Structure 1
Amino acid sequence: MKKMILVLSISLFMIGCKSKSVTNSKVDNKTERVIKGNWSIANVSYPGSEFIKVNSFDIADSKCFVGSTWKFISNNNKGTMALTNASCTSFASDITWFINKEGQFVMKVLSAGDKAKRVRDGYVLNVANVTETSFQLVDKINVGGKMTDVIYQFQKN
C-alpha cells in the first residue's frame, strides 16, 4: 500500500512539473485584441543602415512589403498576409500568430494545405509602439557583425 501511494505521489509530481515549450508560452491577450483586424505595412526601415537589402520572412525584398495587407484574427490566432506592391512578385499566404508575454510576435507562414503544427520554422519579432491605429514589428538582423533593427510599421485599414 505504501509503495502504491509513493508511486501515485511521484506520478502526480511529474505531471505537475512538465516543461513548457515556446509554443506553450502564455499569450498577451490584451495586445492581441488591439492588433486584431485589417492592417497594411506603411513603411519598412533600418535605422542607421538604409543601404542594406533584406529578404523579409524568406519571401521577398523588405521593400516589397510596403503596402502589403495583413489580417489578424485574435480569437484563433490565424490570419492572412498578401504582398500587393506592383513592382514586386505577388504573394499571399495564411499565417498563424500570437504575442507572448515577453512582447514577442511569433508567426508561421503556411503554404497551401499546410497545417501549423506541421510547420517547424517561424519568425519571432518584437512588438513595439502599439496603439489602436498603428504598431511596429521589429526584427533583428546581423549586418557585418552588427545587430541591426528592421522595423515594419503597420497602419490600421
Structure 2
Amino acid sequence: MKQKILLLALIALLAACSTTKQVRNSQKGLKGNWTLSTITTDQGNKVEIKELFNQASPDCFEGSEWSFVSNNNSGTYSFMDVACINSTHSIKWFMEQDGDDIYFLWKFIPDGVKPKDVTAGYKLKLLSESETEFVLAQDAAFEGSVISIYYQFTKN
C-alpha cells in the first residue's frame, strides 16, 4: 500500500514538474527584443478596433518594439509609429499553464507605481512559438459576440 501511494505521489510530482518546465521554456523563449509585426482578427477586415489594452489604436501597437527579460519577468514596449506618442512603457509579465494551453499574462506599470500595486492586466493565449516568432490570441467582446484578436511578434 505504501508503495502505491509513493508511486502516485511520484507521478503527480513528475506531472507538475513537466508543466512547470514547459512554461519555463516558453518564458525563456521570449527573452530578447521583438517587434509586434501584425494584428489581425478572426473576422478579417470586418472589424475596426479602436483601442487595444485601454491605451492606443492598433496602428500604434503594430510595429511597436517589445523587450522581454525572462529572469525577472519585466519588460518594455515602445510605439514606433510617427502618429503615436513615442514613449517607452514598462510591463511585468509571466506565463501560466491551464490544461494544455499556455497563457501570457502582462500588466502595464505606470511611472512611479510599484508592480504589486497594479491589479489590472491582460491574459492572452500563446498559439505558437518558435525562435523567430510567436503568436498570441485575445478574446474580445464585439457587437454582442466574441472575436479573437491575433498578435504576431517577430524576433529582432
Which range, TM-score by smaller chain? 0.7 to 0.9
Alpha-carbon RMSD across the aligned residues, in angstroms, is 1.8
Distance 1:69 1:32 in 2: 18
**1:86 is matched by which residue type in structure 2?**
V
Identity among equivalent pairs (%): 32
**1:131 is matched by which residue type in structure 2?**
S
**Which residue number in structure 1 is paired with residue 80 of structure 2?**
84
Superposed, 1:36-115 pairs within 5 Å as 36-50=31-45, 51-102=47-98, 103-115=102-114
**1:98 is matched by which residue type in structure 2?**
F
Query: TM-score, normalised to structure 2's length?
Result: 0.80
**1:117 is matched by which residue type in structure 2?**
K
**1:101 is matched by which residue type in structure 2?**
Q
Query: TM-score, normalised to structure 1's length?
Result: 0.79
**Which residue number in structure 1 is paired with residue 141 of structure 2?**
142
Give the secondary structure class of the aligned counterpart of 2:59: helix
Q: CA deviation at 1:113?
A: 1.3
Q: CA deviation at 1:129?
A: 1.1
Give the secondary structure class of the aligned counterpart of 1:56: coil
In 2, are the aligned partners of 1:81 and 1:93 still within 8 Å (CA)? Answer: yes
In 2, are the aligned partners of 1:38 and 1:156 still within 8 Å (CA)? Answer: yes
**1:43 is matched by which residue type in structure 2?**
T
- The size of the alignment, in residue pairs, is 133
In 2, are the aligned partners of 1:26 and 1:100 still within 8 Å (CA)? Answer: no
Task: Flag structure 2 segments of 5+ consecutive residues without an equivalent.
Answer: 1-19
Distance 1:79 1:117 in 2: 15
**1:105 is matched by which residue type in structure 2?**
F
**1:121 is matched by which residue type in structure 2?**
A
